[in-house]
Amino acid sequence: GDDGTAQSKQTPLKGAKFELYKGEPGKGTKLGDLVSDDQGKLTATDLTLGKYYFVEVPSEVVVGSDKEPTADQYLLGADARNDAHNKLTFKITNDGVTSDLKASYVNYKAPVIDKTVTNGTGQEHSFQIGDAVNYQGTIHIPTDIAGGADGITVNGVKSETSPYSVFKWGDTAGQGLSYVAAKANIKVTNKDESVVLKENTDYKIQNSENGFVIDFIVNNGQVSDTVASLHGQDLQMTYNMYVNDSAAVANPLTNSVDFVYNNNPFNQEEHHEKTKADVVTYGAKFLKVDSGLFGTGIKATPLEGAEFAAKNAEGKYYGGLVDTDKDGVKEAVWVDDVANAAILKSDKEGHFEITGLTEGEYSLEETKAPENYQKLTKEISFKVDKDSYKEENRITIKNNQKASVPMTGSNGFQTYVLISCLLLGAGALSAVVYFKKKA
The predicted structure's pLDDT at residue 413: 38
Q: What is the pLDDT of residue 167?
A: 98
Distance CA 223, CA 95 (A): 43
Half-sphere exposure of 302 (CA within 13 A, CB side): 12
C-alpha to C-alpha distance for 377 and 400, rounded to whole angstroms: 11
- pTM for this one? 0.85
In whole angstroms, give the CA distance from residue 294 to residue 231: 77
Q: How far apart are CA 373 and CA 172, in angstroms?
A: 51
Q: What percent of the chain has pLDDT over 90?
A: 75
Position 119 pLDDT exceeds 60? yes
Q: What is the pLDDT of residue 406?
A: 46
Bigger pLDDT: 172 or 293? 172
State how far the Cα of 305 lies from the Cα of 370, in Å rounded to an integer.
5
Strand order in the sheet with 282-290: 351-357, 282-290, 395-399
Is residue 431 over pLDDT 90?
no
| Region 153-171 average pLDDT | 91
* Number of residues in the chain: 439
Q: Which residue has the higher pLDDT, 323 or 294?
A: 323
264 Cβ partners below 8 Å, 6+ apart?
Answer: 65, 77, 78, 81, 162, 165
The 10s digit of each residue's pLDDT in 10-67 is 899 999 999 999 999 999 999 999 999 999 998 888 888 999 999 999 999 999 988 9
Task: Say what the pLDDT of residue 296 is.
Answer: 52
Q: pLDDT at position 407, please?
A: 41
User: What is the model's pLDDT at position 97?
Assistant: 57
Q: What is the pLDDT of residue 385?
A: 98
Residue 412 pLDDT more than 70? no
Q: What are phi and psi of 421, to 5 degrees?
A: -65, -40
Query: How far apart (Å, rounded) are the C-alpha atoms in residues 142 and 233?
Result: 8
Instruction: Give the pLDDT score at 436.
Output: 36
| Residue type for position 251 | N
- The answer to whether the beta carbons of residues 250 and 146 sit under 8 Å apart is no
Cα 71 to Cα 68, 75, 112: the distances in Å are 10, 11, 8
